Structure 1
Amino acid sequence: MRRSGLRPTRQRIALADLLFADGDRHVSAESLHEEAQAAGFSVSLATVYNTLHQFTEAGMLRIVQVEGARTHFDTNVSDHHHYFIEDENLVFDIPSGRVEVKNLPEPPEGTEIANVDIVVRLRRKAR
């Protein structure tokens, strides 16, 4: 946290422990809040939101926007793409090398492409 410019408060440390303990993952603020509560850590949903956004601004997380108001946070900050299973609200990585982005348009004058995010939306087949 210190290397990212954040002061390691008790709440940030507890949330970071939950986020980064088991490798790369995707969480919403609500799901992380539930995990914190289940682990016996009392923290408000607002604090979870604020902490996730602070971690994102510090480069520790990446936002994956998959639907309107719902934001997922990814602990893997490298350039990669995602699947999203709509009826389960589940986000997971597309294996690297599986997507090739070609022929992007030139960005408008004075701008540059920062990143290209591809989200492939899925739904379970009816049986």
Structure 2
Amino acid sequence: MHFMADGMMARSAIERGTDWLAKGGLRPTRQRVALAALLVGDGRDRHVTAESLFAAAGQSNDKVSLATVYNTLRAFCEAGLMQEVVVDGARSYFDTRVDNHPHFYWEDTADLFDAPADQLEISRIPELPPGAELSRVDVVIRLKRT
């Protein structure tokens, strides 16, 4: 993240965050801009949990509640700015990269990161039930250390 000496975010991060919100048609409230700047302010894609984003906001002097972080992440997903990656029933990550791509998940450290999409081949999926259309296929490749 880009921060100034007093802990405030650099102007370019705020501008990137504001532009990102506009792409999703979201009103740029103070809290949304602060969280968006943390997520996309450096121009890189990232995977966050609500708790990790809450902690980052606290370190940058942007005071938001954990409930606000959860609600804001949900709004970002609904606006198409992020996608939720559910690793198990109790843990969700939020990904700023919204194209279809697989993920690696380290079970021991709970780290999630992008896997090379060009190396994944899905040759066939089961026939869909009547009246259904494919929304997306999520691929999480779970890793453990040897």
Deviation at 1:96, TM superposition (A): 2.0
* Structure 2: gaps of 5 or more residues: 1-20
Q: Give the TM-score taking structure 1 as reference length.
A: 0.95
Instruction: Tell me the residue number matched to 2:115.
Output: 94
Instruction: Tell me the residue number matched to 1:5.
Output: 25
Deviation at 1:39, TM superposition (A): 0.7
What is the total number of aligned residue pairs between the two structures? Answer: 125
* Structure 1: gaps of 5 or more residues: none
Q: Give the TM-score taking structure 2 as reference length.
A: 0.83
Instruction: Tell me the residue number matched to 1:80.
Output: 101
- Name which of structure 1's ranges 89-98 and 9-18 shifts more when overlaid on structure 2: 89-98
Identical pairs, percent: 52
Instruction: Give structure 1 regions of 4+ aligned residues with deviation exceeding 4 angstroms.
Output: none
Instruction: Tell me the residue number matched to 2:8.
Output: none
> Are 1:14 and 2:28 an aligned pair?
no
Deviations 1:74-96 (A, max 9, x none): 00000000000011010001112
- Matched residue of 1:88: which SS? coil
- Matched residue of 2:117: which SS? coil
Q: Distance in 1 between matches of 2:64 and 2:120?
A: 39
Deviation at 1:106, TM superposition (A): 1.5
Name which structure has the greater RCO, CA cutoff 8 Å, separation 6+: 1
CA RMSD of aligned residues (A): 0.9
